[in-house]
Structures are given as C-alpha cells and as structure tokens.
C-alpha cells in the first residue's frame, strides 16, 4: 500500500481545503492508499514535514499550493527515494506547467494515483534551491517588490512590471559559463531549469528539467514598447528564435557585477548583498517527481 502525504498551503482557504480533502479521499481510496493530510503552519515547515516523511518511508509527498510552497517541500525530498507530486493551486504554477501537470485537481490526482515517477534536475543559486528558474535581473527586482503586494495574480504582477520599468537600468554583468567568460548588459538575466516562468510564459522554451543542464537567458536592455513583443513571443514559446534574447546552456554559471542587488529563486526574493557574486549550478536527477506522460 502506497503511503502518500498531502501538504496543503493554508492560503487555499478553509472551505476550499474541506472540499479538496473530500476529493482526495474519493480518488485515493483506503484499499490502495494510506493517505495523510497536513498543512503548512510556518515558513520552512514544508521542508521539515518532507524530511519527516522521508524518514517514515512515505512513497509520495504531494505539495498543494504554488511554486513557493512546492520549492519549500521539495527541499526536504532532494536525494531521497520519496517522490514529489503537485496539485497546482498557485498563481503562475511554473513547475506544474513544465511537468504538464493538469491544472484541475481531479486530473492531477489521477496522475498521483498512477504513480509514474522520473528523476528531475535541481538548480542552485548561491545554494538556494530552485526547480524552475532563478534570476538576478528585472525579474528579481519585481520578485522583491511582489512579496509586499496584498493582491496577487497576473494583474498585480503586471502593474509592478509597468510601474518599475523606467527606473530600471540593466546592469553590466561578467558572466562565466563553464569557463567561457563574456561581458553583457542585460535587462533580464534568468537561469532556467524548466521552460516555464508561470502563466505559460516561456523564456527558455527548449529547457528541460531532465537534461542535466541549465539554460541561461539574457534579454538586453529594451525600450518600454519592447515589453510587448517579449511577452508575445514568450507566450508563443518562440522568444529563443528572435533577437530579443541570447540563449546559452551550461552546468556551472558565475555572474558578477557591482550593480547586483536582487536574486529570485522560483519567483521568491532571497537576500543578496549588493555587489555579491552569484553562482548557479545544476544537480542532475536529484529529485523524484510524479509526472505526466511525455
């Protein structure tokens, strides 16, 4: 009998939680599955719960929430035989989309019941783990501001982007990708493990969490009207074929700049001293995940 632990982010709301728990019990019957449901109580709790699940021999830990809580839970599963599964209830749902996890709960539960697993790569930025992407450019600035926004979602994110654009000047970076050094001024400097930013925006359309490499996406400084085609081509998944982005791949990337001030991992801002160096690296096949058919 498979032991499955569901960890739910309480931001989902009480009524929604009750309905969700009912659906879980309906799809994962006691005859085939030993199901336990718990909730996040504080920042970092997901990592603690996941580590306890590994020690208890749990087969699958299901992260119910957005990319931030998924990242937190995954930190406790890296290097273990316990698989991560996802029920996407966040706003962007970047990793779930990259893994082709259905956005509808019943379909996501069907995948969990099937139990098809595969080892995926995990990225690190200054040893902060990321599953989808990390960055030090404009996206990192917005992530820093976004954490103080009361109303989440695409509209709130877009307001921050448009409101911050004119004040942002793309820093000049020294970039070392597996020993090859270059200097580049960039508006966006994003290192991708998966192909999704969330909301179906794809800066690295060909990136894969299974290929053992990181994708470096550099968008040079652009005028305000350049945001429209960047967004358009990102949604279409063809930005890598345009002049708006420079694309590289590597396993070990170092970026330095006296203007470095922000870092985001999976959309969440993390502390960074101004002028600090950031090292990105890949840990191949480090995390078991429940996947859809590819």
The dihedrals phi and psi of 48, each to the nearest 5 degrees, come to -65, -50
Query: What would the pLDDT profile of 42-94 be if each residue is shown by its tens digit?
Result: 989 999 999 999 999 999 999 998 888 999 999 999 999 999 999 998 777 87
Query: What would the pLDDT profile of 217-242 be if each residue is shown by its tens digit?
Result: 888 887 766 667 677 667 666 677 77
196 or 114: which carries more pLDDT confidence?
114
Q: Report whether 75 contacts 130 (CB < 8 A).
A: no
CA dist list (Å): 135 to 26, 125, 188, 290: 40, 9, 8, 26
Q: In whole numbers, what is the pLDDT of the chain averaged over residues?
A: 85
Of 11, 12, 8, the closest CA to residue 38 belongs to 8
Average pLDDT over residues 113-138: 94
Q: Report whether 195 contacts 207 (CB < 8 A).
A: yes
Average pLDDT over residues 116-138: 94
SS (H, E, C) 126-137: CCEEECCEEECC
pLDDT for 9 equals: 85
pLDDT band at 294 (very low <50, low <70, confident <90, very high): low
Evaluate if residue 25 carries a pLDDT over 80.
yes
Query: What would the pLDDT profile of 246-279 be if each residue is shown by its tens digit?
Result: 889 999 999 999 888 889 998 888 888 766 799 9
pLDDT for 200 equals: 65
Residues 6 or more apart whose Cβ sits within 8 Å of residue 36: 3, 4, 5, 6
């Amino acid at each position: 009998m498979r032991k499955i632990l569901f960890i739910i982010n309480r931001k989902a709301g009480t009524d929604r939680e009750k309905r969700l728990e009912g659906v879980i019990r309906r799809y994962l019957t006691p005859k085939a599955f030993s199901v336990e449901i718990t909730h996040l109580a504080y920042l970092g709790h997901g990592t603690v719960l996941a580590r306890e699940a590994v020690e208890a021999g749990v087969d699958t830990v299901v992260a119910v929430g957005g990319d931030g809580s998924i990242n937190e839970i995954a930190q406790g599963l890296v290097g273990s035989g316990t698989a991560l599964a996802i029920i996407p209830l966040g706003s962007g749902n970047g990793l779930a989309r990259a893994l082709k996890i259905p956005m509808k709960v019943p379909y996501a539960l069907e995948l969990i019941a099937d139990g098809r697993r595969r080892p995926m790569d995990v990225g690190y930025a200054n040893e902060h783990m990321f599953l989808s992407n990390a960055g030090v450019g404009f996206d990192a600035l917005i992530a820093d501001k976004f954490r103080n926004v009361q109303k989440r979602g695409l509209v709130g994110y877009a307001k921050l982007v448009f409101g911050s654009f004119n004040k942002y000047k793309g820093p000049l970076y020294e970039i070392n990708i597996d020993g090859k050094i270059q200097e580049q001024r960039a508006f966006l400097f994003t290192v991708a493990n998966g192909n999704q930013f969330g909301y179906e925006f794809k800066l690295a359309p060909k990136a894969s969490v299974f290929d053992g490499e990181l994708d470096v996406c550099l968008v040079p400084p652009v005028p305000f009207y350049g945001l429209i085609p960047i967004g358009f081509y990102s949604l279409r998944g063809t930005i890598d074929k345009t002049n708006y982005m420079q694309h590289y791949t590597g396993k070990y990337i170092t970026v330095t700049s006296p203007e470095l001030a922000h870092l985001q991992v999976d959309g969440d801002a993390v502390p960074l001293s101004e002028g600090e160096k950031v090292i990105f690296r890949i840990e191949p096949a480090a995390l078991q995940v429940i996947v859809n058919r590819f």
